[in-house]
Each structure stands twice: as structure tokens, then as C-alpha cells.
Structure 1
Amino acid sequence: MSKSQNDNIRVVVCGDEGVGKSSLITSLVKDTFVPNIQSVLPPVTIPRQFSSLADTPGQTIVVDTSPLLQDRPQLTKEIRRANVIWLVYSDHYTCERISLFWMPFFRSLGVNLPVVLTANKCDLSPRDEASRAISEEMIPILKEFKEVESCIRCSASLHFNVNQAFYLCQRAVTHPLAPLFDSKEGKLKPAAVAALERVFFLADSDQDGCLNDTELKDLQAHCFQNKSLEEVDILQLKNILSELSAEAHVTANTGDSESNGLSIVPAVIPGKGITCEGFILLNKIFAEKGRHETTWGILRRFHYTDSLSLEDKFLYPKLDVPPNASVELSPDGYRFLVDMFLLFDKDNDGGLNQLELNALFKPTPGIPKLWKDTNFPQSTVRNEAGNVTLQGWLAQWSMTTYLDYRSTMAYLAQLGFDGKQGTQKITDGVKITKPRKKRNPASKAYRSTAITDRNVFNCFVLGSSGSGKTTLLKAFLNRPFSEVYTPTIQPISVVNSVEMPGGKQCYLILEELGELEPAVLENSSRLDECDVICFTYDSSDPDSFAYLVNLHNTYPQLNMLPAVYVALKADLDRQQQRCEQQPDVYTRNLSMAAPLHVSAQWTSSLNELFVQLAEAAEYPGSATPRDGPEEHDTSMLPTAATVGSALGVLAISLWLWRSQQR
């Protein structure tokens, strides 16, 4: 349970009659022992400023209870409302009752609460009995019941360890041990290890697999701003880890390493720093020594909840996107992704191979789902070795942001976009474009308006089967031409950058819809995602263009979108189309440009097509079908008429005034 700043901590004190529950509460509040108090105290509220723990989220309410049978309903009610149970015993009999009654009773209620076990009245036992009580009474209970988070011996009459016991109760809520450490196995839990590995990844700025002194100091400053890490502290830390690592190697040689839970990988590499295994081992020591609040201090600074998942508000910060607007990467977002690419291109070959991609995505769930759906890395630009280039890397993220910006923000968060100091917001990695306005395609204003604030455009590639759509998509990614024909069943999406006249660069997403084409064209929301349509036909097939004419008749809504007509396979013999109108006449009647003749074998024609598609998306009015003549903007005519009338009235008034003066 992750507690917000307004939450209170509710501590319910349980135990047999006469163990000193009320005396412990009174000693806590009064800082001294008070004799002759009532058997059950009313709830006591301790303000946050008087709390034993500096980062307690709110007030702490301590609730006294009665173990009597007639008070059992009230006891049950309080336990169900509790955040932590302060369980008290005072002698051998009441200690036996912990295992025989109290712990089974808590479990029977179905509550999963941390328990702080306290042996009260330790002043009545000889001093030499302390170690025996711990080893024979507390440790067996601690091992048997995972709910028992810590144990402590107290004395209400001497005010001994009372504040410390209360601190343990608060810490059990604010910094729970259970999610981090498996007491029975004696090692950190897998979720805790995974979270700490991500922290190590983000702290390892140079990605050399070790935290050097500078990186350790940066991590300390990031997590604990008021506590600096000195050189002597770092040296002492390395010495401790080196000794434990050496012990682990010795234990491994005896075949008993698993039982001790110690790492056999070097914890410290001389001259480089602390390894990831050493960092995990360090936090294991914190858990074993009862200093797991240090581990929580690190994890909370990196936005982890008590369940060791990243906070939703960190992964998915609120972003108000107006209707018909799109989301793109901001300059800061592009810069961060460029830095990530350069950092993980270890062999400096200008591409990310599978091993480098695996290393880059290590602190995440893996490559985004959208990438899997688009068959990455086939969806973007790769070099001759098949590795994703920087151009392809940025193009893929541009497509991801355009189609699913929440996924991009989640990955920016997981990869550390917020920076070492956590000062940068995740939303700084993206930007919102202006909403697209639906206007009359026949109006002069619409046909002359450019979309200047967008750099990513989505294009549907439509055409008859065998017209060359898939080959066009492959050519867009500079893939070699293949004579083998394979019909497209599932949708295909590819993305690449296009350099516009004047040097401006934009990203173009080409989507071939496959068998989902009818469903997509009937879906208005999917059509809203389309910025331009590429209508393709096979210029060597006389029946190919008729498919596009039929498509327009079936889906008249396509006439509201900008489009470019393309005659593919232009290197083959051109055929007369079996259609009422030939392609040139058909497009001229729509006031559109004639089909562009393109071949996968002609690089210059391909480049011209992709630029034309990008320009059609940027200037949608000029590429949108128009049946009638262009409408002129007459918005000024009423104003001109009004001004003319006013001037006429003024002239007549002046003439009358002058006549009266004469």
C-alpha cells in the first residue's frame, strides 16, 4: 500500500491481557512511565511533526485494544482498519500465544499486515536473558511468520526502546520490508532486484557496467540531497563489498553459495567501480541490517510504489490533446533518443544490432507492443548488416509517438528522460500540434493553407492486389527489389524521413491495410488518422485503375482527404485502362495532378513520389479532390457594401449642411 502525503498511519496494538499495551502507549506519549492507568486507552493521535520518522506521510493514530472475548468484534474491526499491528507479549506464556493464537487469528481475518513483535517488561528479566529471548523466542516466530517484519525488546516502566518500537511500526508502513526481502530465503525478491537493476542502469551514465565514484556521488545526491557521499565512505563501501564478494567465491567453491544467498560475481572491479551485482548485494545488506529505508529512499526517488511498480502518473503524465490534434517528439525528445542511440552503439558501426537493442531496452518491458505489431525492425531503415540506423531509430519513435504517444512517454520515463536530477518532465519529450480544421475543399482559403507545425504524416497506400504496394513500401526503406510476389494479409506499416525542398525534414508513415482495408475505410476515426492517401495502380495491367474508381464510389468519404495518384511498374509496357475514363482524365476532372509514373527500379521517381506525398499532407487543400469550380472568398463583400453605404450617407449629410450654411 503506497501512502500519499495526506494519508494517516493507523497502528493497532494487540496482545494478551496484562502484557503492558496501554503502558507502552502512555510511555510513548508522556516520555515516562505512568502507573495506574485505565485498561484500554482511547485512540491517540501523534502529529506528523512529532513522528519518529522524518518522511511520515501524515498523522499516526495509535489504537489500544482489548483481548477479551466480549470485545472481539471491536478488536476485529480495528485490525481490519489497521496499517500495521504492534503485537506485544511479556513472558513465556504470552510468547507461546503469539504462534498459537495471535498470528493464526490475524490470518483468519484475511488481512495481510506487517507485524512488529515487541517483548515488553524486559526490565523484569536478567540482562543475560536478552540474547536467549531473541534466539529462542523472537527468531523462530520471525522465521515462521512472514508477516512479522521486525522484533524488539522494550520496557514501558524504564521507557526503554519504546520510541524505537514505535519507529519500527511507522517504518513497516512507510518502508515495508516484505516487498524487498524474503526472510526465509535470505535474499532480495525478484521484483526488488529488477527495480534495483533499472536504478543501476540509469545511474551508470557511461554504460560501462560499473558505478564509478562520480556516478555514486551523483546517485547519492539524486536520492538523498542532504547527505553527501565522501571519498572515505566510498572506499569503506568498496572494501565491505570486496570482502563479501571474496567470501562468496570461497562459499561457491564449497558448493554452498546458494544457501547463503551471496553473489559469486565480483562486486567491485578495481579501477572501474561497483558492479550491478555489488549494488544488489549492498541493498541486500541494507535489508538484513534493518536499513531498508535506504533502499526505499533510492526506489522512491526513481518513482517506485510499494508494490515495486513504477507510478502511473510518472509513466503516463496528464497530457491534454485536443480533438484532431496529434502528438510528436519535441526537440528535447529527439535529442534524448539520439544520445541513447550513440551510447549503446558500442561497436560504432552506425547501427543497433539485437544485442545492443536488448541492452538499451533492459530497464523496460522490452520493445514496445506497437513495434512488435509493425514487425520491427522491418518497419524502418536498416543498414546492410540489418542493424537499425540512427535515421531508422528516430523514424520508428516518430511513428510510435504519432500513433501511440502514451507508449512513447512511458518508455521515455523508463529510460531516464527526466535526467539525473529529475528536473525534466516526461511531457517535455513530446509536443502537441495544432488541431486540424475541417474546411471546404473547394474554398480558396483551404487550398492555400499549409500545415506548418507538424513533422509527422500518416499515409494510407490503397490499390488493387498486385499493383505494387508492398514493393513501394520496401523501396521507401531502401530495400532491394524482389520479383517474388506475396499477397499482403496483415497490415504493414513502415516509416522513414523525407527531405522536403528547402531542406526541411519530415517523417512519413506508409500503411498498407491488407485484408483490413474495408473495415478501416468504413471507420471514421481511422480515417481521421490519415493525412494523405496514395492511390496506386499497375500501369501495365489494364484492369488495375478500375479498382480505384470503384473504391471512390464505394467510400465517397475518401474525396475529403488529400491524395496522390501513382502509376506503378512504369518500367513495363504501359496499357490502356479498361475504364470509362483514363487516369489522366479522371484526375483532371477532380482538379488534381495527373498520376505520377513510378518504378521501383527508378530511384529518382521514388524520391519524387515521397516528396509529393509529404507536400500533399503539408498542403492538403491543393491535393484534395474538387468536383466544382473553386469558390472565391466573399467574406469582404458585406463589409465593403456597408462601408459604401456609410460613405454615401455621410456625403449627403455634408451636402445638406453646406446648403443650410449658404
Structure 2
Amino acid sequence: MTKETIRVVLCGDPGVGKSSLIASLAKGKFVEDSEGKFGPVVIPKDFSASPYSPKNTILIDTSDNDTDELYKELKIADVIWLCYCDKESYERISLYWMVTFRSLGLNLPVIVSRTKCDDYEDSTVTTSPYDTKVEDEEFIPILIDFKEVDNCIKVSAKTQFNINQAFYLCQRSIIYPISPLFDSRLGEFKPQTVSALKRIFLLSDYDQDGYLSDRELSNLQKKCFKKSIDINEMQFIKQTFMTLSNSQLAESHTELYVTGKGITEEGFLFLNKLYVEKGRHETIWGILRAFYYTDSLSIKVEVLYPKLNIPATSSVELSPIGYRFLVNLFLKYDTDNDGGLTQDDLNKLFKCTPGIPHLWLATNFPYSTVVNGRGCITLQGWLAQWSMTTFLDYKITTAYLVYFDFQEDAKIALQITKPRKFRWRNGKYYRSTVNDRKVFNCLLIGKSNCGKTSLLESFLGRPYSEAHLASVIPHICVNSLELKGSKQYYLILQETGVEELAMLENKDKLKNSDVICLMYDSSDPDSFSYLVELFEKYKEQFESLPVILVASKADLDKQQQRCHIQPDLFAETLFIDHPLHISCNWINSLNELLIKITETALVPIKAIPGLPEEASYSEEDYKQASILLASSVGFISLVTFAYIKWQHYYKHS
């Protein structure tokens, strides 16, 4: 996480050289007379520094004479730079300073510096910033006893020795913190780090063979550091693993590297552990941040859920880029190329995510969409499932695109439809024709046992079953269908079960529906009255959406409905089409219904209850009207001409 400003508080006994360090950093040279406490000194960001470096680093000098001021500064510090120069001040680190920090409840990284190491010359030019390995034995007890201590380093303000490196270590402890990654007491990565690195390994293993080849490792390097891997670095990696192959580690049967194949998952973790031990925290954070991890080892919320400005009457769909990515993802994990994802394929696919989305599990995935004969989701079903997910909750889609390592901003994988337009006629608002939507949502409403579940199963191409289970929980399914002109759409069918009344009472949920399908069993004389009672109770809700009447089980004997109004007359009073008679045994009738639902969603005016059609005229009617209009215009012109002539004659007579 990039911070705008870092506050570095210098602590230590009097005379250890705190003020001299600040003066050397600020002026780039040793200042002979730097007695007394300095005020805050701001060091601006160097143009060549890391993009994660802060814009400003403030150095705060402190004095033992003002304990209250010291404590105040420590409580607002980001990092503590603790200095000592001799045996007495060294012992005070354990006996006083670290005890003080802990008594204040501070949870800050501490950089320990041994100052006045004037025997060393300036090495800022030739020494790599990664070369921060502790070599002095006096540092070892401090690092072992105090986990707060991030690093130790020798410095000299007089010779400028390691001044810049020590300053860099203070910055690095904030922008590349080690504490979230590594448990220094156990000498092991923390569980969150292991999980993150394992996920990165899985995403980088493009051929899914369990190894990172040289090419895959090079691709990872380019993604994380925007440059090809250095030849010397690659040689170091290979040499390290070759050396380890004959060590005790090999005797533990832990396979780290296989010649001709590449680095294993365990090898990848071990390599990153070596970077920690060499003080190369930047390398690990460069890898983690390329995959959008924060300092708490969670993926950035703003990346998972980018902000979208969605009008109230618009919907969200996948863009062509989003569909293309999901197609490639399906093909990548369809290892046997049979056109279906087995459970093992799905397990591998979702291994780099929190798991199959809860929305999918709640809707009986994969049986909420198209599966093959073995129950494996097909490419058609895969795309339909994501189309439904994006329509119902686009945030799930953006999050999983990131989990699947979508390389660009997840927003470009989506597209927002135009806001719905409404028109006014006969005292009623109605939805106008839709031109830019490809995903529609239909709500099925009807009495229990009227055939809603069978319709859903038939929609997904599954055979009709005589067994009937009462729909207690909501059911949902999605599939694609093609209309004339080869235009493809995705249709979502929802059966609400016992939540039917709650759905009708929730106007916000109804807004997400494009069509309401009122279904009754034509062979059950008591089925239609349920719809009439429901319509009368929720008349306002029904009249705001297009409605289609459906008579199911049409292959059985038709029964007169025990209701004060019959279905055909009911439809006529609402100015909608007569019930469409369907049967799960009549495939053509089902296709006709699905097409009608989609066409109604595209042109809602066809099925708005209580909205009569505008009077229509034949071509002959228009011809006769034109002749009558022309005759009327001619007659009016003649009368006008006669009147003008009469006025002229009257004036002159």
C-alpha cells in the first residue's frame, strides 16, 4: 500500500549521532557541528525511486530530556530508527528502549543502526540496496529477542557509509513490510502468504502440469516487474535448486525442481523464502502486488468490486471481451476436450478463488443450466451461467474475473445497457421497445403442481419426469435461445416457490423482471382461480410489467375452470393474448412459449395488462382517408375563393 507520507522517528541515547544522521541525509554531506535537536526534516521522493515509495519522508529528531514529546512522536510514527554507538548504548536497547516501545503498545517496525562506524568508506554507489544481510554478531541477539526489529545496519554520518541504505530500510519497512509475510520466530511464511503464493503459482502454471517452466517463470517476471528475467537471476535459481538436490532437503523427498520441467509448487515457496532470508522483501511484494494483494494479504476491494455508475433502470451484461475470456477459461480447463467440465475440472478451475460462488450453490449449480449426459456443464451452459450471474449480481462476476487473473480492469468485461424508456398512453406508463439487451428475466407464477418445475427442466433440455416435488425453495435456470435473424439471447426463468407472495410484495425485485408468466394447469379446474385472486390482490404490480398467460399440461383433458371468469375472457378484459397452451410432451409448444417470452421482453407493449392496442387501419382505409382529405381540402379552397370574389364584388358595388 502506497503512503503519501512516512514519519520516521529517530531514537537513542544522547550522543549516539541522531542529529548527524539527519543532517547527512538532508544535505548529502557530513556536518561537523550538528549539536542540538533538529526540527522535522522532509525528504522528498526521488524520481528514480520505486512507484510505491512515499511522496515525502519526514525525519523526526528526539531528545531524552522531553519524555512527553518523545512519547507523543512515537505514537504517530510509522517506523522507528533506533541508534546506538557503543557498549553502553547497545545494552540500553534491550534494557530501556525496546521495553519502552512495548510499554507504549507500539506495533511499529524498528530499524537498528550502529552509528559512528567511521572505519568504513561510503558504499552507497557500489552496494546493492538488496544487500542488507546481517553480518555482525552483535545484531543477532537483537533480531532474535525482538520481532519488532525489521533490520540492523552499520552507518557513519562522517563517511556517508550506508546512510542512504539505512534510510531506504526505514522506507522499506513500510512499503515492503516483512511482518505480514513472515513469522521471524518460527522462520516460516505465515499461512496467508503461503495461500497467496500458491494461488499465484497456479495462475502462472498455464499448462497446468504442476511445474513452472522457464517460459512460465519469465512470463511471471514480466507481469510482476515489467521486464524479462535476468540471465544471472535464472542461473542463480537453477544453481540453488541443483545444490539443494544433494542436500538433506532432498532426503526428505521434497521435490523442488525437475530438470526439463521446472519449479514445483514447493520449490516456488522455497525460492521466495530465500528472498526473505536475503532481505529481498521487494521481490515478494512485487509478485504479490502484481496480483493486487494488499499489506494484509487480501486482494484489493476496489479491484474486486470496481465502481460502476449504473442507472436505476439499466442492467449489466457481459461484454464481448468478457465472453471471450470466459470461453478461453473453459477451454483451458476442459482437459479432455469433451466439451464439458467435470467436477475435477471445476475443482481445479475454482482452486484459485474462494470457491464456487454462493449464488451458484443456492441455485443448484450445475443443474441451473445446460449439462451434458454425464452432468458436466457445457460451454453453452458455462456462458449462460455467467450471463445470469452478471445480470443478477455483477459484483460476483468482477470479483471472479480477478480471481481468474483477468489481465485488465474488470469493468471492460462488462457493459451497461441503456436506461429503460417509458411511454404514456391511456393514463398508463409502459416500457418501450428494447434494442440493446441480450439477457432477460422471466418470473413464473402459479399454483403448486401447475408444471413450473417441469417447464424449467424442459427449458434445459432435460426429459419430463412424472415425479413431482413441491417447490419449497426458489428455482432458477438459464439458457440461450436464438430468434429470427440469428440473434442470440439469454433467458432466465425463475420459480419463487413459497416466496411467491414475498416476491410480489417487493417492488424492487420485480423491477429486475422483464416478463411475468402466469401459469395454470388446464387439466385442474381449481388452478386458474389462484391466479385471478393473486392478480386482484397485486393488481398494481402486475400492471407494471408485461404479462403472458400460459395453460400447461395441454396434452391432458381440458377442464372448465371453477372461477367467476374464464381464462380467455380474463385475457380479453386485460387486453393481452389468450393463454398459450403448452405441454412438456410438445416440444414445439415449449419453443413457442420461450420465443414469445423473449419477444415480449423486447417489445413489452404487446402484453401490458389494461393497455388496449391502438386502432389499426388497413391500406385501403388509408387510401379512402387520403381521398376524403383531398376532397375536403378542394371543397374548402373553392368556398374560400368564392367568398373572396363575393367580398370584392360587394365593395365595388
Tell me the TM-score normalised to structure 1 length: 0.87
CA distance in 2, matches of 1:248, 1:534: 70
CA distance in 2, matches of 1:54, 1:24: 25
8 Å Cα contact 2:115/2:156 also seen in 1: yes
Structure 2 CA distance for partners of 1:484 and 1:380, relative to 1, 3 Å: same
Residue 508 of structure 1 is aligned with which of 488, 491, 502?
A: 491
- Deviation string 1:61-115 (CA, Å, 9 cap, x unpaired) is 11111123xx111111111221111011222332222222222322222221111
AA partner of residue 371 (structure 2): R
Aligned to 1:378: 367
Amino-acid identity (%): 53
AA partner of residue 366 (structure 1): G
1:176 aligns with 2:177: yes
Aligned to 2:2: 3
Long gaps (5+) in structure 1: 126-132, 254-263, 419-423, 634-639
Aligned to 2:595: 611
Aligned to 2:509: 526
Structure 1 window deviating more from structure 2 (184-193 vs 451-460): it is 184-193
Task: After TM superposition, give the deviation of residue 50 of structure 1 in Å.
Answer: 7.4
Structure 2 CA distance for partners of 1:382 and 1:246, relative to 1, 3 Å: farther
- Deviation string 1:246-272 (CA, Å, 9 cap, x unpaired) is 53644527xxxxxxxxxx2x2223222
CA distance in 2, matches of 1:567, 1:34: 95
CA distance in 2, matches of 1:19, 1:275: 49
Q: Which residues in structure 2 correspond to 1:559-638 (within 5 Å)?
A: 559-626=543-610, 628=612, 630=614
CA distance in 2, matches of 1:441, 1:524: 22
8 Å Cα contact 1:328/1:430 also seen in 2: yes
Residue 14 of structure 2 is aligned with which of 5, 14, 17?
A: 17
Q: Which residues in structure 2 correspond to 1:255-654 (within 5 Å)?
A: 264=254, 266-418=255-407, 424-440=408-424, 449-556=432-539, 557-626=541-610, 628=612, 630=614
Structure 2 CA distance for partners of 1:630 and 1:174, relative to 1, 3 Å: same
8 Å Cα contact 2:430/2:608 also seen in 1: no
Long gaps (5+) in structure 2: 121-133, 618-628
Question: 3-state SS of the aligned residue for 2:328?
Answer: helix
Structure 1 window deviating more from structure 2 (513-522 vs 87-96): it is 87-96
CA distance in 2, matches of 1:553, 1:446: 19
Structure 2 CA distance for partners of 1:615 and 1:106, relative to 1, 3 Å: same
Aligned to 2:224: 223
8 Å Cα contact 2:2/2:53 also seen in 1: no
8 Å Cα contact 1:552/1:559 also seen in 2: no
Task: After TM superposition, give the deviation of residue 176 of structure 1 in Å.
Answer: 0.9
- Deviation string 1:373-426 (CA, Å, 9 cap, x unpaired) is 2222221111111111111111110011001011111111221222xxxxx321
AA partner of residue 318 (structure 2): L
1:47 aligns with 2:36: no
Question: 3-state SS of the aligned residue for 1:613?
Answer: helix
RMSD across aligned positions (CA)? 2.8
AA partner of residue 80 (structure 1): K
Aligned to 2:620: none
Structure 1 window deviating more from structure 2 (505-514 vs 589-598): it is 589-598
Structure 2 CA distance for partners of 1:630 and 1:445, relative to 1, 3 Å: farther
CA distance in 2, matches of 1:105, 1:153: 23
Aligned to 2:76: 81
8 Å Cα contact 1:268/1:274 also seen in 2: yes
CA distance in 2, matches of 1:74, 1:631: 87
Question: 3-state SS of the aligned residue for 1:439?
Answer: strand
- Deviation string 1:471-526 (CA, Å, 9 cap, x unpaired) is 21122222332222222222111111122233211111111111211111011101
CA distance in 1, matches of 2:615, 2:37: 87
CA distance in 2, matches of 1:507, 1:91: 76
CA distance in 1, matches of 2:502, 2:252: 61
CA distance in 2, matches of 1:327, 1:534: 23
Aligned to 2:243: 243
Aligned to 1:36: 33
8 Å Cα contact 1:441/1:621 also seen in 2: no
AA partner of residue 49 (structure 1): D
Aligned to 1:260: none
8 Å Cα contact 1:381/1:388 also seen in 2: yes
CA distance in 2, matches of 1:479, 1:354: 20
AA partner of residue 172 (structure 1): S
Q: Which residues in structure 2 correspond to 1:84-99 (within 5 Å)?
A: 84-99=79-94
Structure 2 CA distance for partners of 1:457 and 1:489, relative to 1, 3 Å: same
Structure 1 window deviating more from structure 2 (202-211 vs 490-499): it is 202-211
CA distance in 2, matches of 1:472, 1:178: 57
Question: 3-state SS of the aligned residue for 1:578?
Answer: coil
Task: After TM superposition, give the deviation of residue 18 of structure 1 in Å.
Answer: 2.1
Structure 2 CA distance for partners of 1:307 and 1:577, relative to 1, 3 Å: same
CA distance in 2, matches of 1:40, 1:234: 48
Task: After TM superposition, give the deviation of residue 55 of structure 1 in Å.
Answer: 4.6
Count the aligned residue pairs: 614
Question: 3-state SS of the aligned residue for 1:211?
Answer: coil
Question: 3-state SS of the aligned residue for 2:550?
Answer: strand
AA partner of residue 34 (structure 2): I
CA distance in 2, matches of 1:369, 1:248: 45
Question: 3-state SS of the aligned residue for 1:46?
Answer: strand
Task: After TM superposition, give the deviation of residue 290 of structure 1 in Å.
Answer: 0.4
- Deviation string 1:254-293 (CA, Å, 9 cap, x unpaired) is xxxxxxxxxx2x2223222223322222211111100111
Q: Which residues in structure 2 correspond to 1:135-214 (within 5 Å)?
A: 136-214=137-215
AA partner of residue 378 (structure 2): T
8 Å Cα contact 2:303/2:409 also seen in 1: no
CA distance in 2, matches of 1:54, 1:503: 50
Question: 3-state SS of the aligned residue for 1:49?
Answer: coil
Structure 2 CA distance for partners of 1:18 and 1:379, relative to 1, 3 Å: same
Aligned to 2:234: 234
Task: After TM superposition, give the deviation of residue 168 of structure 1 in Å.
Answer: 0.7
8 Å Cα contact 2:422/2:429 also seen in 1: no
Structure 2 CA distance for partners of 1:443 and 1:387, relative to 1, 3 Å: farther
Structure 2 CA distance for partners of 1:486 and 1:140, relative to 1, 3 Å: same
8 Å Cα contact 1:53/1:171 also seen in 2: no
CA distance in 2, matches of 1:311, 1:301: 11
CA distance in 2, matches of 1:209, 1:365: 20
